[in-house]
Amino acid sequence: MDGVYVTDGYGGSHGEENVHSDNGTANEYDLADKVKFPELSDPYLDSEGVAYEYPIGNPLTYLDYLDHCALYIADNQIPDNEISPDTGDFDLISLGYFDPVINDTTQSKISWHWDEEEGKGILEVEGVVWVEAASLDLGKKKEMIEYRGNGIIVVGQVVDGTHIQGDIRVSANLVAEGSYVPGGEGGFPNNVLGLIAQNIYLAPDPCDSMLTMTGAFYAENQIVSRKQNEIAGTFVCKEFNISGQVPRIYQVPELANNLPPGIPGGTPIWSISTSQWSES
């Protein structure tokens, strides 16, 4: 890791002996309460820190935005709540809606096609796609899913007006289509898939292993990644578990500049500190 900042020390059987960080292990957390876990009930802030009202006079939260902009998919409207070669091709699109963030009318959509000749699936997501189910499965063992677009899949139902209860399980390779060129069209993070759920499980089944993924992963509770996964993007969650057989997560700084609208926690946080110096 580039840097770790921990006040209460390290757990596990070996403690800091198994922490490999460029800045060592003695740096305490120093941002006080400036950084907190981003909740779906928080006011929606864009990349410039601007808040919104919709309708006028009503502060817009992330959950409000997702709800207002979503293409809703009923439980089992996608057979067995699974996207895989067994699902069959589909193409779903919402009616036009007014997006208060971009101040224009737009649509949300999702499409899926399995290319038997290429041995891979093409998943396209734009806007917000909300699957009203207890869980959604993406792919099966060692399959390849390539996605295009800049969108979010939300899974679950709202509880008490703020919380989403639903899980996402990914058993396939899940990567952005094409190669990344700065300012181009293909690759990650020009194309970004955001996943929002209560819990996200990456390589959840005993036979899943060595998967490659790119994306923005947000869980209100926990993200679990296992079995030598190689993941580029970011995790935002209350708890993460990467203890099962050395999975890796690589943070991609450029992702912050191309997050799909509606992902909590994408607003920059600035901290200014003073230091003393003298010339002799």
Q: What digits encode the pLDDT tens for the residues 172-183?
A: 999 999 988 887
Taking 80 as the threshold, does the pLDDT of residue 45 lie above it?
yes
Do the Cβ atoms of 173 and 142 come closer than 8 Å?
yes
Beta strands at 230-244 and 163-165: parallel, antiparallel or unpaired:
unpaired
Q: What digits encode the pLDDT tens for the residues 58-113?
A: 999 999 999 999 999 999 999 999 999 999 999 999 998 999 988 999 999 999 99
